[in-house]
Amino acid sequence: MMNIRLARPEDLDLLPEIEVSAATLFRDQGLAITSDETDGAPLDFTPAAVWKPIAAAGLLWVVAEEKGPPGGFLAARIEDNRLHILEFDVHRRHQGQGLGRRLLAFAIAEARRRGLEGLSLTTFRDAPWNAPFYASAGFKVIERDAAPETLQAYLDREASRGLDPARRCAMIMSLKAQRSDGSA
């Protein structure tokens, strides 16, 4: 049984393989991640060293068997009193088992435990396992003009890396307590 735990130093070198494996799903569906991507080009990944301070901050979780390697991970940062999801991937061989949904539920519970107002992320609008997946968990698309500056900055950085701004969106899940009349 796979459980969710904080990433350990020995996990970090395994995360790029998970990220690349998850990204191959785009190619298999005929979706380019960047505008200049070609089928034979190597997929970009986040170097393991980038995750080290995030793991040290207690904001990098993996799903793994007790003594096995991680099958997925979720990395986050706290910004604007929200848990901002930086990267969230499940290795292809572990997809379809509900591990991604479990990791996301864990992150939501962690944001609540920390007393944060919500969660945020940026993602692809048009891939069914991206924006529609997050919407099914309670995230709402925030159009760029209405997004907080921090999310606009993420979208701008993604565009500068070649991601098509028309395909990207910011999403927020509010964790603010709802009053009985439905207002915040």
Per-residue confidence in pLDDT tens, the chain, 184 aa: 899 999 999 999 999 999 988 888 876 666 655 544 445 544 567 889 999 999 999 999 999 988 889 999 999 999 999 999 999 999 989 988 889 999 999 999 999 999 999 999 999 888 878 899 999 999 999 999 999 999 999 999 999 888 889 989 999 999 986 434 444 4
111 within domain boundaries: yes
Provide the residue range defining the domain that includes 136: 3-174
23 within domain boundaries: yes
Sign of the alpha-carbon dihedral angle for 169, 93, 119, 108: positive
pLDDT at 64: 94
12 within domain boundaries: yes
Distance of CA 79 to the CA centre of its chain: 14
| HEC readout, 37-62 | CCCCCCCCCCCHHHHHHHHHCCCEEE
Give how many domains the chain has, as a whole number.
1
pLDDT at 44: 61
Distance CA 64, CA 133 (A): 22
Distance CA 77, CA 87 (A): 10
pLDDT at 60: 97
Read off the pTM.
0.88
183 within domain boundaries: no
180 within domain boundaries: no
98 within domain boundaries: yes
pLDDT at 183: 45
Alpha helices (runs of H) in the chain, residue ranges in sequence order: 15-28, 48-56, 99-113, 131-136, 149-160
Q: At what angle do helices 15-28 and 48-56 cross, to 10 degrees?
A: 120
Residue that is written with structure tokens 């070649």 in the block: 162
Element (H, E) at 168: strand 168-174
pLDDT at 151: 96
Distances (CA, A) of 181 to 2, 140, 184: 40, 20, 9
73 within domain boundaries: yes
Question: Which domain CATH number covers 35?
Answer: 3.40.630.30
pLDDT at 180: 42
Distance CA 126, CA 33 (A): 11
pLDDT at 59: 98
41 within domain boundaries: yes
